[in-house]
Amino acid sequence: MLIPVRVFAGVRREEHPLNWYNILVPYPTNWIEIDTSALHENAQAIQAYIGAGRTLWAVVKADAYGHGAPVVAQALLQAGISHFIVASLNEAVVLREALKGQPFRLMTLYPPTTPAEWRTAAEYAVESVVDSLDGYRQACEVAKVFGRTLPVHLEIDTGMSRLGLTAEQIEPFLAALCPDAPVRWQSVFTHFACADSNAEFTREQLHRFLQDVERLQAAGFPRTPLHAAASAGMLTVAESMLDAVRCGLLLYGIAPTGLETHPLCQNLKPVLCWRARVISIRTIPEGQSVSYGARFRAERPTRVATLSVGYADGYPIGLTNLAPIALHGTLVPQIGRVCMDMLMVDITDLPQTRVGDVATLIGRDGDAEVRVETLARLLNTTPHEITTRLGKRARRVG
């Protein structure tokens, strides 16, 4: 179900707390439609896939992968999902404020690095990551000052080499571990490095993780839920789902790289559509160039439509002369270098196109569809990068 957001002068912020950043002008030049019904269905399909006994942690970091974190989290709460993960403390505070008064669990992936950050996490009921002995000590000190027990998650590094206790750091951590410390362990987890491309290495990481958990528990660390798999891991190494799954990309109906044909991916629906208007049409002669750098020259008399969207809105300049655009139910080629605020398409074969028509950069228009996965392949990047770079200038509707 698409829910339009009405925009008018004089609106007060408190009247639209989830879409305040959308209340700019009544006539957006490009906009993003969020299909909350698809989000509900995806969440239900993923929960069914992982099993009712496992917790689904919805990853809504990076503004819900560009979809709009407050709107997405609100829709997921209505679908019965109440566990959320963001990256930073700032993202956590913004989400708490946007959904003020609604109960949900909220975890950050960045470990707090100062006592002030731990205090803010405590004030906003944020479950923080402990990934070092120093972090554990800071958490205990802040908890004592606050006079409350802090909820924390322990991260283990099994080969990502980014965050978490390494195998060598586990013994010093256990030596400092105090059973009466004012922290409440919510889970132990790890991150896979190659879940979408190397199942063997992923299983190796899983084995290391379970061995490290055994070491922890043998030394008296409490038994807690375990999680390792994100979207790719749950599809490629089923045994990695453990007690919980951290799911981002799949919730939004986007397949991890190389897994587009997985049965679950085939059943999920894209949540995001990105559209822009035709603001100008002209016909150029054979040999004439289009846009900066003259990187496109017409090989025939060519009808060119200019769209009201560019790289300032998050459309990658790297898609110059590569990407398809959907218009009137047909895919047409983007031509000329993508500009900051505009891009051009070849509409020679669409004589019915007029100024004001709507083009689709991501999503479906009749029989034509532009998938995020397709654009990612053209850029040799991940789907995550495409959607997380969508700017605030594109108004979210839904």
Positions annotated as catalytic residues are 61, 292
The residue ranges of DSSP E strands in 35-193, in sequence order, are 55-59, 83-86, 105-108, 128-130, 150-155, 183-189
List, in sequence order, every beta strand (DSSP E) within 223-371. 226-227, 244-247, 272-284, 289-290, 296-297, 302-307, 324-327, 330-335, 343-346, 358-365, 368-370
Tell which residue, 103, 105, 182, 121, has the closest CA to residue 149.
Answer: 182
Residue 167 parent element (H or E): helix 167-176
CA angle 88/90/94 to nearest 5° reads 120
Q: Whose CA is closest to 173, among 204, 208, 212?
A: 212
Give the whole-angstrom CA distance, residue 98 versus residue 215: 40
